[in-house]
Amino acid sequence: MVKDLHGKNIIITGASGGIGEKMARLCAERGANLALVARRTDKLAAMKEELEQRYSIDIYTFSLDVSNMEKVEEVFPLILERFKVIDVLVNNAGYGIFTYAHDADMKEVKSMFDVNVLGLIACTQQVLPKMLATKSGHIINIASQAGKIATPKSSTYSATKHAVLGYSNSLRMEVASQGVYITTVNPGPIETNFFDIADKEGTYVKNVQRYMLKPEYVARKVVDVMLTPTREVNLPRWMNLGSKVFAIAPRLFEWAGRGVFNKK
């Protein structure tokens, strides 16, 4: 059941583009107040002005690189001052770079973990005490099908998303009896600018473009489960079926899928 978001307070990281922007627009349409977080404040400012003119809601924007722990500790208290109750946190900020493991630049490896894993954990720690105090709230972590099925040239990215799933699964059990929901979202490739960085040569996009998910579709699926006890959102369904087969027969799956996996 889709919950009424009117008057709810929602934080979205990585909100300046891709599914983050689409989620922000859908939440605004449904009457939620927003704290939008991203590195690019120009896009956030334009979106704030547009949405506040169209809807009777409060929108606050914050410049933040979630990999900067000191800035996380500065910005989130400002959000908590404005929103006495945090209903939903969407940890959406993240990126990937596709390269062979032996070619990986260690600065890029560290940066991916800093943003995709440590940044997500840091943001969660900022809001979780308030949610536990009110015995309500929902944390939605954007992971990936790559966190379930690793493929060539995505070793570091897959590792970060494996970590997000592990963290989320443990956290879900910790807070299960305290009124806080934890959801992971595991999409396949989405038609966004993610691949401008991840796939600089354009090979992967060219090979899988017809299978790519529309960001509007993914965003709607996420917003639809807000404030519901949904464990996971897996998109598309056929790709998630592959992850289930992989869990049962990994060796056979890897052998059978070699041709598909080497699309990067």
- The reported pLDDT for the residue numbered 194 is 63
Summarised one tens digit per residue, pLDDT across range 46-68 is 999 999 999 999 999 999 999 99
**Catalytic residue at 157?**
yes
The domain locations on the chain are 9-261
Q: Between helices 18-29 and 215-224, what is the axis angle to 10°? A: 50
Summarised one tens digit per residue, pLDDT across range 135-193 is 999 999 999 999 998 888 899 999 999 999 999 999 999 999 999 999 999 998 877 66
Summarised one tens digit per residue, pLDDT across range 103-143 is 999 999 999 999 999 999 999 999 999 999 999 999 999 99
The residue whose two tokens read 């996009």 is 205
Q: How many residues does the chain have?
A: 264
> Which residues make beta-bridge pairs with 13?
37
Candidates 157, 167, 181, 204; catalytic one: 157
Domain 9-261 class, CATH top level: alpha beta
Give the CA diameter of the chain. 55
Q: What is the pTM of this model?
A: 0.89
Question: d(Cα 209, Cα 192) in Å, to the nearest integer?
Answer: 11
Question: d(Cα 19, Cα 42) in Å, to the nearest integer?
Answer: 17
